[in-house]
């Protein structure tokens, strides 16, 4: 049974549930590297970005790192790659794994015409979602609070055509010097943003309300 059940997803599940410490993992096997890969997060962030129009999947422990695909241009004529540049389902999106409760993500893109994910019996009850224009299967496994998570489509953050997501800055010869020179501009931008009714003030207002409600719930005995 161990030989048939301990596939890539189940092996990652066994490792994560018994391991001590914080992890952001990418797990692959020589037996299944041609069709699938696993990502896992617990105590350390892990993000996965999907670029259907460019055929790229990026992953990393920093959200900003997976924006690298925004700066990547398709070789040759991009019109041959993108069917419709304005098609919403072709826009790049980002999935942030739950590093607090622990979460595993299996990506399976099939092999030799088999488009169904290869999953051993212990995990075949898990929901299978599609990304990359239905070319890649996504299976999510939560270590805790499995029923409290939204469906995949509502967890994805839009990377393209999103006014709040900016591409990575161009490379420079001296990034430290560039950061130092940016300090006055960045500080001024932060001060100006707080003076206006922007997202910072709205976020602070909502955070204060949440803290107030939680403290009141403790006083009322609703939270022990």
pLDDT(224) > 80: no
pLDDT(207) > 80: yes
134-148, pLDDT tens digit by residue? 999 999 999 875 555
Percent of the chain clearing pLDDT 90 (strictly above): 53
Predicted pLDDT of residue 85? 52
Q: Is 92 exposed, middle or buried (0-12, 13-18, 19+ CB in 10 A)?
A: buried
Predicted pLDDT of residue 82? 47
Q: In the numeric block, which tokens belong to residue 144?
A: 């805790």
Please count the other Cβ atoms lying within 10 Å of the Cβ belonging to residue 49.
24
Structure-model confidence comparison of residues 212 and 18, the more confident one: 212
3 state DSSP class of 45? coil
Predicted pLDDT of residue 80? 44
Predicted pLDDT of residue 199? 84
81-103, pLDDT tens digit by residue? 444 555 667 899 999 999 988 99
106-142, pLDDT tens digit by residue? 999 988 778 889 999 999 999 999 999 999 999 999 9
pLDDT(180) > 70: yes
Which H/E stretch holds residue 83? Answer: none
Percent of the chain clearing pLDDT 70 (strictly above): 91
Please count the other Cβ atoms lying within 10 Å of the Cβ belonging to residue 4.
10
How far apart, in Å, are the Cα atoms of 207 and each of 55, 143, 167, 201?
A: 38, 27, 28, 10
Structure-model confidence comparison of residues 146 and 75, the more confident one: 75
| Residue 194: alpha-carbon gap to chain centroid | 29
């Amino acid at each position: 049974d161990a030989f048939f059940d301990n596939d890539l997803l189940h092996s990652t599940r066994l490792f994560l549930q018994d391991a001590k410490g914080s992890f952001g993992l990418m797990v692959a096997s020589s037996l299944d590297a041609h069709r699938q890969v696993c990502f896992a997060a617990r105590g350390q962030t892990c993000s996965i970005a999907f670029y259907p129009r460019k055929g790229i999947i990026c992953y990393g422990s920093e959200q900003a790192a997976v924006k690298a695909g925004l700066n990547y241009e398709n070789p040759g004529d991009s019109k041959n790659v993108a069917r419709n540049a304005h098609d919403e389902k072709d826009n790049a999106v980002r999935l942030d794994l739950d590093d607090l409760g622990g979460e595993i993500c299996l990506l399976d893109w099939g092999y030799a015409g088999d488009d169904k994910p290869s999953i051993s019996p212990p995990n075949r009850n898990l929901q299978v979602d599609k990304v990359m224009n239905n070319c890649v299967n996504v299976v999510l496994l939560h270590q805790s609070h499995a029923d409290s998570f939204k469906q995949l489509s509502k967890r994805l953050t839009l990377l393209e055509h999103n006014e709040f997501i900016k591409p990575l800055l161009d490379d420079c010869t001296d990034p430290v010097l560039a950061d130092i020179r940016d300090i006055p501009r960045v500080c001024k931008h932060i001060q100006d943003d707080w003076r206006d009714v922007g997202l910072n003030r709205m976020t602070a207002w909502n955070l204060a309300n949440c803290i107030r409600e939680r403290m009141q719930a403790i006083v009322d005995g609703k939270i022990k």
